[in-house]
Amino acid sequence: MKASDLIKLAAEAREKAYAGYSGYRVGAALLAKNGKVYLGCNVENAVYPAGICAERNAIFSAVADGVREFSRIAIVGGSGDKLKGYAYPCGICRQVMREFCDDDFEIILYDGRKQLKKTLAEILPCSFSKTDLDF
Ligand code: THU
């Protein structure tokens, strides 16, 4: 799927964000290697740490559907109705990506005007992963 189509889906997912505490709304559209797309938005909570980011929401939704291989994700974010800046994934989401995605997994960012593409290896260098564990 084209980057621009995935961005459109991420923007649609963002409309579902439940982000009344921070006001920062995020949408993610995750493309699996089998062609399926999983959407996620951030879902906040009165107990702040109980909330979840849009990216993990999308990834966990795919895993719950039995899908664990992914090629790219589009992410958009900003306060209120407008997109603002590139919504880079937080550290925890990067680590969750590490669990299921290869170094060349593509992160597509869109600030409302321009696209920016990064690989997982670029945004999470020197990472720890399941390949480091002996079991
Ligand atoms: N957020 C995401 O959804 N993804 C990220 O990678 C960064 C942060 C959400 C979490 C919280 O609901 C809000 O943005 C402000 O941190």
DSSP 85: S
Ligand 1 centre to CA of 111 (Å) is: 15
Which structural domains are found in the chain, ordered by start? 3-125 (3.40.140.10)
> Does the beta carbon of 13 lie inside 6 Å of ligand 1?
no
Structure tokens at 80: 């209120």
> Does the beta carbon of 95 lie inside 6 Å of ligand 1?
no
Considering only CA atoms, give the Rg of the chain.
14
Ligand 1 centre to CA of 55 (Å) is: 9
The model carries a pTM of 0.96
* CB atoms inside a 10 Å sphere around CB 132: 7
Q: What is the pLDDT of residue 135?
A: 77
Of 14, 1, 110, which Cα lies nearest the Cα of 55? 14
Q: What is the pLDDT along the chain (135 residues), one digit of tens a residue?
A: 999 999 999 999 999 999 999 999 999 999 999 999 999 999 999 999 999 999 999 999 999 999 999 999 999 999 998 999 999 999 999 999 999 999 999 999 999 999 999 999 999 999 999 999 987
| 3-state SS assignment for residue 39 | strand
Ligand 1, atom 14, residue with closest C-alpha: 24
Q: Which residue's structure tokens are 């974010």? A: 77
> Does the beta carbon of 89 lie inside 6 Å of ligand 1?
yes
> What amino acid positions are annotated as catalytic residues?
55
Over the range 80-93, which residues count as b (16 or more CB within 10 Å of their CB) and which as e?
eeebeebbebeeeb
CA 46 to chain centre: 22
Residue 34 buriedness (CB in 10 A; 0-12 / 13-18 / 19+): exposed
Residue 42 buriedness (CB in 10 A; 0-12 / 13-18 / 19+): buried
> Does the beta carbon of 86 lie inside 6 Å of ligand 1?
no
Ligand 1, atom 1, residue with closest C-alpha: 53
